[in-house]
Every structure is written in structure tokens, then in C-alpha cells.
């Protein structure tokens, strides 16, 4: 992979949605994240803009890496989440859903996630 010299980030194209990224979106990730998400099939390396200096980086050798790594780890849901501002609740719901959610869906997404966790 090639990382931009001025900031060390790798430019990738999203192939499968994760975090708050959507398919087809061009994003810049840290080299570690770029290798992780490329390995899980969520991104592929994208061309850098013309004139941007780049350096080739090797995949880090972290030893054994489980194939059970989730691309979007489920966040902790704090006690009293219902009393938080809508923006904090929406951010939490988007982390759970792995993408953008409508304001009217926020609370139901969080409640469903709490119910799912209770049944596991």
C-alpha cells in the first residue's frame, strides 16, 4: 500500500459499508486500519491524487490475527443513555447500525440492541 508522505494516511475506496462509511466512498485511513479493513474485504486501495508524494508501506507483522475481528465493534451503551442529547444518542445509534440513521430511528435502534444483548 502507499501512504501519503505529508500525513501518513492511506487512501482507500469503501467496498462494503462499515463505521459511518458508505460503499463507493473514498476515505483516508491509518495504515493499520487500511490493512485491517482491506483484509476483511471492506476496502481496496484507491489511487492518490496527482502530485501527492507517497511512500510504500509494508503490512505490519502482528503475529496471529483472529479471523473473528468485527469491522465495526459494537459500542458500550451507557446507563441513562435516554437522558443524553439527541446528537450523542444518534452517534451511538449510527455506531450500532454501521451507518447513517434518521432521527426518529435513534431510540428504537438503541433499544433493539439492548434487547439483543440481553438475549445473548
* pLDDT tens, residue by residue, 3-32: 888 888 899 999 988 777 889 999 988 888
pLDDT in tens, 56-114: 888 765 544 444 444 556 688 899 999 999 999 999 988 888 788 899 999 998 998 88
Q: Where are the domains of the chain?
A: 2-56, 81-119
Predicted pLDDT of residue 72: 56
- Angle in degrees, 0-180, between the axes of helices 106-119 and 86-97, rounded to the nearest 10: 50
Q: For residue 94, how many C-alpha atoms fall within 13 Å in the half-sphere facing its CB?
A: 16
**Model confidence at 44, in pLDDT bands (50, 70, 90)?**
very high
pLDDT recorded at residue 73: 61
Whole-number pLDDT of residue 63? 47
* Average pLDDT of the segment spanning 26-50: 87
How far apart are alpha carbons 107 and 90 in whole angstroms? 8
* Residue 36: other Cβ atoms inside 10 A: 19
Query: β-pairing, 10-14 with 26-29?
Result: antiparallel
Amino acid at each position: 500500500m502507499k501512504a501519503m508522505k505529508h500525513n501518513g494516511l492511506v487512501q482507500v475506496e469503501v467496498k462494503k459499508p462499515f463505521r459511518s462509511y458508505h460503499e463507493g466512498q473514498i476515505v483516508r485511513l491509518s495504515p493499520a486500519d487500511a490493512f485491517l479493513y482491506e483484509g476483511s474485504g471492506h476496502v481496496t486501495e484507491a489511487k492518490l491524487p496527482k502530485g501527492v508524494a507517497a511512500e510504500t508501506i509494508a503490512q505490519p507483522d502482528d503475529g496471529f490475527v483472529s479471523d473473528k475481528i468485527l469491522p465495526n465493534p459494537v459500542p458500550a451503551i451507557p446507563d441513562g443513555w435516554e437522558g443524553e442529547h439527541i446528537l450523542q444518542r444518534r452517534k451511538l445509534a449510527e455506531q450500532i447500525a454501521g451507518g447513517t440513521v434518521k432521527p426518529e430511528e435513534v431510540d428504537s435502534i438503541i433499544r433493539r440492541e439492548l434487547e439483543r444483548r440481553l438475549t445473548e
